[in-house]
Structure 1
Amino acid sequence: MEIAANPNWFANNPLARLNNEKDNEAFIRDRLADADSLMIPLWRGDPLVIGGKDAGFLSAAARREFPQSATTVFLGLKDNRAYFGIDASATGQTPEAAAFSDIGQYMPLREAASVVSREDLSIIGHARWLIEWRRTHRFCSACGHETALELGGAKSQCPNCEAVHFPRSNPVAIVLATHDDACLLGRGPGWPPGFLSALAGFIEAGETPEEAARREIFEEAGVTLTDVRYQFSQPWPFPASMMMGFIADATGRDLNLDTNEIEEACWVAKSDIRLLLAKDENAPEGIFVPPRFTIARQLLEVWAR
């Protein structure tokens, strides 16, 4: 598949989601029984990776190796082949003990993002999103009764009060603030020394993404923004955020940090950003930019060009 205009990992999912067809339970059942269908197992959200680089898609016949209670979700269709995700957590207390760990490893998703193909990663991210939602939202928020999955895992319904629930997406504004030839990067508490990224925050109720961008940068760094420009978005399955990326102009470079949110922040020249992105030997020491699979990195790439 040709990569679409969105440059972000976890985006550009190649599967047709078939929202009409998956409302038919017989369709899901038939596809699970189809020997051509594929299934990706995840242990606590981390995918099976084979050979250190390939997503561990198995024949749907592998469903027999998992307990009936294991959450199974329908992801979509590609070339008339169905794709499913399944929760391998019930098959072992550790990833090494889980089903099919003898043919690969359950690799932390952030590590897998650096080795698995981008197309497969978007499918894995979708599977993780649904499986983790089910794991953490099994009970009805209206009456407390256990819900039942429908639409192949794309929604759940309470058999007691009939309330319908859908996977949540937590909207986040992530902003690369710029002033002339420099951009603002910061490090959160507990991050590795020298690891800097664009600043971000959750969008609050009744707030537009642009308003959230201005508010977050002012609250966290004391910087006032103008001309907040949307760039692109990224589904971020850690566990369920929709990252909306912006580049914005700052009125000045004075900083007033909220140290509960930001441990350090600094303005980095565009020339240094270019060296860091290129891993040039002349790049500033002690500064690490985000990895390529993050939207923060893609914002830096756009601005540096």
Structure 2
Amino acid sequence: MNWKARLLALDGLMPSIGDDGRLVWGTLADAAEDAELVFLGLDYSESESGKACFAAVPPKGDASPRMANPQLWSLMSTLQPSDLAAYGGARSIVDWHARHRFCAQCGGPTEIAKGGWQRNCTACGASHFPRTDPVTIMLVEYDGKLMLGRGLGWPEGAFSALAGFVEPGESIEEGVVREVLEESGVKVRDVSYVASQPWPFPSQLMIGCHAYADDDALTIDETEMAEINWYTQEEVKASLAGDGPFRAPPPHAIAHHLMHWWIHR
């Protein structure tokens, strides 16, 4: 029944793109004989009728910084939303498998289970599950201006919303307050939720928020940030259109949508 199943074509963790600009799908016959296959789900799109979709676990995962692969960022910007979602989910799960072939409890080898949504240790029997790390990404506003920053190692002129991992024991609101204070020295209040986005670098949930600052005096953490500036609504709007004082995040990033939300709310 292999003809009813599809295998996502990957080069390591890179997507394969066809002449039509869509993800390339093959059949299970394309998988290596000893490949670990992850069940991604059933495709009930207009052109399909419940075909099972799989992806093969690559030999190794990706521990490089998310900005280290400009080719991948360029490819992602060309994908349709449905393909971007499919690739993002597949990348996250197969990367997790590639980096968790050994048990964190005893060091023994693990094997794939439950269609790829679990790994079991063959030595101590411990079960391991894919993780998603919560990350707050926040628009900070003061007197009609927006705080945006450029991280260390980012291209010149590229600015985005500040972001950081939610630490154990923190609420989302507390994570926003702490991260903004650490990176910019600015105290914020009235934190509200806007939107979220899964982010496969390697497997995060970006939690988009908005907050107000009590002042605009900056004390930049130079171990994390190269620059932080305040921008007017007109400057943000012009940058999103490609003709402003900074390079805006790409359209597939939640920061891009948060900026549009801020302008049009």
TM superposition score normalised by structure 2: 0.90
Residue 297 (1) aligns with residue 256 (2): yes
User: Matches of residues 257-268 of structure 1 in structure 2 within 5 Å?
Assistant: 257-268=220-231
How many residue pairs end up in the alignment? 250
Ranges of 4+ aligned residues in structure 1 off by more than 3 Å: 87-90
Q: Residues 51-90 of structure 1 correspond to what in structure 2 (within 5 A)?
A: 51=19, 53-63=21-31, 66-68=32-34, 70-78=35-43, 79-87=49-57
Question: Residue type of the partner of 2:259?
Answer: L
Mapped to 2, the partners of 1:151 and 1:109 lie a distance apart of 29
Pairwise CA distance, 1:59: 2.4
Question: Which runs of no fewer than 5 residues in structure 1 stay unpaired?
Answer: 1-32, 91-106
Determine whether 1:247 maps to 2:247: no
Verify the 8 A CA contact 1:41 1:88 in the aligned structure 2: no
Q: Choose 44-53 or 178-187, whichever is displaced more.
A: 44-53
User: 1-side partners of 2:184 and 2:158: how far apart?
Assistant: 17
Aligned to 1:273: 236
The aligned counterpart of 2:146 is: 183
SS in 2 for 1:206: coil
Partner Cα separation in structure 1 for residue 151 and residue 83 of structure 2: 30
Aligned to 2:64: none
Counterpart CA distance in 2 for 1:240 and 1:213 is 19
Aligned equivalents of 2:251 and 2:127: distance in 1? 37
Corresponding position of 1:35: 3
Task: Give the C-alpha shift of residue 247 in structure 1.
Answer: 1.0
SS of 2:119's partner is strand
CA RMSD in angstroms, aligned pairs only: 1.6
Show CA shifts across 1:108-153 (max 9, x none). Answer: 4322211121101111111111111011111011111111111111
**Which residue pairs with 1:284 in the alignment?**
244
Contact 1:44 1:132 in 2 (8 A): no
Tell me, in whole angstroms, the C-alpha distance in 2 between the residues paired with 1:173 and 1:121.
21
- Displacement, 1:43? 2.4
State the alpha-carbon separation in 1 of the partners of residues 189 and 215 from structure 2.
Answer: 11
Letter in 2 for 1:121: L
- Is 1:208 aligned to 2:174, yes or no? no
State the alpha-carbon separation in 2 of the partners of residues 174 and 284 from structure 1.
Answer: 22
Deviation string 1:142-182 (CA, Å, 9 cap, x unpaired) is 11111111111111111221111001111111111011221
Partners of 1:44 and 1:88 within 8 A in 2: yes
| Amino-acid identity (%) | 37
Q: Does 1:157 align with 2:117?
A: no
Structure with more relative contact order (C-alpha pairs < 8 Å, separation 6 or more):
1
Q: Which amino acid aligns with 2:121?
A: C
Is residue 53–residue 112 contact of structure 1 (8 Å, CA) maintained in 2? no
| TM-score relative to the length of structure 1 | 0.78
One-letter amino acid of the structure 1 residue matched with residue 104 of structure 2: S
**Which consecutive residues of structure 2, in runs of 5 or more, have no partner in the other structure?**
44-48, 61-69
Task: Indicate whether 1:49 and 2:17 are aligned.
Answer: yes
Q: Given that residues 155 and 167 in structure 1 are in contact (C-alpha distance below 8 angstroms), is that contact kept between their aligned partners in structure 2?
A: yes
